[in-house]
Structures are given as C-alpha cells and as structure tokens.
C-alpha cells in the first residue's frame, strides 16, 4: 500500500502538471492572498463574483471556492448561481463558512449554501464547524473560541448530515467524510498570527480537489503542503509580517519530495 507521503507527492506533481483553474467568490480582505497562494501551489486563480458572469466563469473552472468572510446579498446570489452550475458540471465546491456562529446572517447563509448546493468540502475552525454541526461553538468576529463537545464527533456529524468532506482546522486539522478520518499535524503557530491563512488554505484545498476523487486524501495533502510551508517559513523570520511573505515563498518552493518526506498525518479509527 502506498504511503501517505508518496500519495501526497503524486498529487502535488499532478496538480502542477494540470494547472487547474480555481474560481473564487471570496472576501475582499484576503482576495489577493488567495490569488497568489493559488498561483504558487501550481494552479490558476480567477476571482469573479458578478451574478451576470459567474455561471459562465465556473463552467471554465475545475473547482469553486466560496468564502463568506465579507457577506453581502449580491454575493450570496452569485454564490448560489455559481454553485448550481458547478453542481450541474460536477465541479467540486469548497465552502469556507467564515464567522458562522458570530451573526445570524453568517450562520443562515452557511446553512442556506449547504442546503441548496451539494458542497464537496466544508472547512472551518472549531467554532464554525461546531455551530454548523449543532455542537455549539463560540465565535467572535471571524475568530473561534472553542467548541462544546468532542471535535472529531462534531466533524463526523456535519459530514454525515451534508455528504461533504469536513475539515476542522486547529493544531491538528481534522478531516473526515464521516467514515474515514485523518489528522494533519503539519504547521506552525505563526500561521494563526496573521490574517488570511484560513482563506489561503481553502484555495489550496480547491486546487488539490481537482486531482483526486478522494477528497479526504486530497484535503490532507493540501493542508499538509500548506503546513510544511509554514514550518519552513517560521525557521527564517523574525515576526508575523515577514512570516507572511516567507510563507508564500515556501508554498511556491514546495516540491513533491517535501511532501513525501515531511507530511505528518495520522489516521483515526472510526
């Protein structure tokens, strides 16, 4: 049986050969970071959210990333239009429910997107996933302050309820499709000290989702790759501002061999 690191290395090599187009409808705080990290991992970004063009644009894409970080109604309408077209074409949709649990608008929008679209991957922090799974969670602004109950059980519940692969980010990222669960343990604390790393992770998830039908595997590869880049960046910086630049540089410098030797992933027995 092929080892995880070898599988991840092969996915990164395939991703860079394929150079998939990742369509984003995302928030204005981190849009440039998401575009750049998509380029640096080996994919091509497009940021299009006008309702008049999103169905046509997603028809050209290989995956669709939806991020509710800076919500407004026109954007929600665009997400639904793009998502319906993505579902028609069997294009994977990655949902980042930023701030779900902080306000009723964010929670209701996340639930609406999950209810009206077939979402492939849902990625959030403990508070966001806990809220959407019905386990409870504390969210202030877009920051998580924890979850009530067992985090693995909450990710399982949301995965089983939606049919999506669910990711709860944290010191160990929990990834599950409801029956198969992986923990990714790559990363560095500085990744939580700058804005945008969660949004960038969703972009990388969108890129890797185009090269494997096993979204639990592709998601683990994506987060391991990003985490390894964070580990390497942290070794050569003096603070969070320089870390952000170094992180993007290290994403661009990642090789399949880095994933083959550096991925730290554990399987949870469900």
Residues 6+ apart with CB under 8 A from 229: 247, 250, 251, 253, 254
Query: What DSSP character marks residue 103?
Result: B
Q: What is the pLDDT of residue 147?
A: 57
Q: What is the pLDDT of residue 2?
A: 62
pLDDT in tens, 82-95: 999 999 999 999 99
pLDDT in tens, 110-168: 999 999 999 999 999 999 999 999 876 555 444 444 555 688 999 999 999 999 999 99
Q: What is the pLDDT of residue 136?
A: 61
In total, the chain counts a number of residues equal to 270
Q: What is the pLDDT of residue 143?
A: 44
Q: What is the pLDDT of residue 148?
A: 57
H helix runs in 42-92, sequence order: 54-58, 73-89
Q: What is the pLDDT of residue 149?
A: 65
CATH class of 4-268: alpha beta
Domain ranges of the chain: 4-268
- Tokens linked to 254: 């990642």
Q: What is the pLDDT of residue 3?
A: 86
pLDDT under 70: residue ranges of the chain: 1-2, 136-149, 270
């Amino acid at each position: 049986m092929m080892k995880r690191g070898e599988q991840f290395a092969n996915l990164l090599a395939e991703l860079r050969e394929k150079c998939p187009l990742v369509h984003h409808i995302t928030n204005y705080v981190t849009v440039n970071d998401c575009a750049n990290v998509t380029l640096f991992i080996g994919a091509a970004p497009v940021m299009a959210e006008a309702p008049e063009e999103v169905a046509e644009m997603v028809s050209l894409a290989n995956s669709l990333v939806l991020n509710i970080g800076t919500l407004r109604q026109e954007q929600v309408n665009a997400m639904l239009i793009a998502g319906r077209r993505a579902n028609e074409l069997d294009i994977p949709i990655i949902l980042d429910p930023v701030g779900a649990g902080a306000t009723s608008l964010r929670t209701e929008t996340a639930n609406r997107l999950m209810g009206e679209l077939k979402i492939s991957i849902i990625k959030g922090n403990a508070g966001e996933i806990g809220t959407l799974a019905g386990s409870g969670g504390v969210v202030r602004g877009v920051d998580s302050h924890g979850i009530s109950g067992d985090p693995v059980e909450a990710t399982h519940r949301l995965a089983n309820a939606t049919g999506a692969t669910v990711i709860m980010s944290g010191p160990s990222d929990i990834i599950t499709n409801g029956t198969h669960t992986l923990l990714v343990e790559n990363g560095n604390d500085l990744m939580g000290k700058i804005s945008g790393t969660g949004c960038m992770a969703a972009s990388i998830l969108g890129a890797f989702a185009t090269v494997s039908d096993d979204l639990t595997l592709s998601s683990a590869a994506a987060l391991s790759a990003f985490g390894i880049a964070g580990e390497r960046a942290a070794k050569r910086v003096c603070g969070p501002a320089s870390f952000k630049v170094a992180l993007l540089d290290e994403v661009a410098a990642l090789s399949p061999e880095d994933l083959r030797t550096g991925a730290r992933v554990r399987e949870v027995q469900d």
